[in-house]
Structure 1
């Protein structure tokens, strides 16, 4: 097999790097606490989710959005911030704090595009077997949770970079905790559909309880794997 040209390797090295956490102690602490916080909140709300999926998913959107925004702002570099050269401060001069306006605009931009992606995610769920004429609120709300978990952080760190999104869509982006969490979320949601058709006659098998549960569980596993085990590696399809 012919080896890739040196120029291609150079481009990949320059433009395709894993996302690094912000270099602060607070970012490291919050990044490690983030999965535990999400999982604990979901566990406490699980009985209510089984009893009333629509109401529980709707009431959980604001807490989930708050957690995701806090995680992004504290731990992740906003789109474009890693591309700007860091100027060394002169001896004796005061350090100028990073402006929060850009981060606020990036959060708003990422939230809007995440919400825009909800109908697309709902359509994908329908293609994979979600009810078409019934349970529409269930599907839309589960898609919104997936968008806040998987899409929002990706947009926050990558913006609308077409080349990067092509890499993400082809599942060839280098693994980091943002990309790993997103892959894990989608894979978990897909695997979460497995128990639904089984003849166990359990209340938690109804739509979309197992889908949302799989999405959250996959998000946690992917985030931890991307941040610790396989960071910088790529998913290879032989």
Structure 2
């Protein structure tokens, strides 16, 4: 009998523990983007994807609270933004490893889908492509930010920190959740009610609107580059998380009403 490594067994057991039945049809679950079946064929609605937007919301609110508590000290805020960018990427990777992603991208890391016999070299290529596209997204975001008027050489760290923040929130997470073909998947389904699309739109909109206070003569400590745009991006993330949580709750309420009616 083939024995899985202990680490992979741990992930399998944890994934099984983090699921509970809601008596939903497979079509209902897949419409929300979180369809998952156990080996016995029973429909399950994973609890893990419901936890992810809550955790993202808490991280965003925690960062905003920390920035306020620091008095918007420039160096402290930059460090906090850098740590936050790494934290959101780490959270997305962990949820993908545990099978809580919105797409089979977790299979790239765990190999737990129907394609379990895929060669390890293929998985390595997938991870490599995700890393390459992630770096490209940071570079592209940095270039676009400079074209919009940010500093190129002066205050390079400020601009790069903002680029990493936006790329981490809007581009790298979809790559981890959907795989190297994230852009193609998003363009094909073109559904602005999906979590990835909502997050990307809200974050980019928030970052863009965050530039409005910079030229205003308010003399506030947060009214400097890149704090306003970064705060706008994080506020967009908070808004997107609230939207996803509300949508999940609405779907759950409709499902319970339908089950009671039947």
Provide the alpha-carbon RMSD of the alignment. 3.7
Residues 85-234 of structure 1 aligned to structure 2 (within 5 Å) = 109-156=129-176, 157-160=178-181, 163-164=184-185, 166=187, 172-225=190-243, 228-229=246-247
By how many angstroms is 1:108 displaced? 5.9
| Structure 1 residues 63 and 31, CA gap change in structure 2 (3 angstroms) | closer
Distance 2:80 2:55 in 1: 21
Which secondary structure does the structure 1 equivalent of 2:47 belong to?
helix
Contact 1:110 1:155 in 2 (8 A): yes
Q: Structure 2: state its 5+ residue gaps.
A: 1-29, 37-44, 108-112, 251-262
| Structure 1 residues 44 and 103, CA gap change in structure 2 (3 angstroms) | farther
Partner of 1:20: 33
**1:37 lines up with 2:58 in the alignment:** yes
Q: Structure 1: state its 5+ residue gaps.
A: 1-16, 88-96, 232-238
Distance 1:131 1:199 in 2: 20
| Structure 1 residues 225 and 55, CA gap change in structure 2 (3 angstroms) | closer
Higher relative contact order, chain-length normalized (CA < 8 Å, sep 6+): 1
Partner of 1:50: 72
Contact 1:19 1:178 in 2 (8 A): no
By how many angstroms is 1:209 displaced? 0.6
| Structure 1 residues 160 and 49, CA gap change in structure 2 (3 angstroms) | farther
Contact 2:206 2:235 in 1 (8 A): yes
Aligned length in residues: 199
| Structure 1 residues 37 and 226, CA gap change in structure 2 (3 angstroms) | closer
| Structure 1 residues 162 and 116, CA gap change in structure 2 (3 angstroms) | closer
Please identify runs of 4+ aligned residues in structure 1 that moved more than 4 A. Answer: 101-109, 165-168, 226-231
Q: TM-score, normalised by structure 1?
A: 0.67
Q: Which moved more, 1:28-37 or 1:150-159?
A: 28-37
Q: TM-score, normalised by structure 2?
A: 0.61
By how many angstroms is 1:59 displaced? 3.8
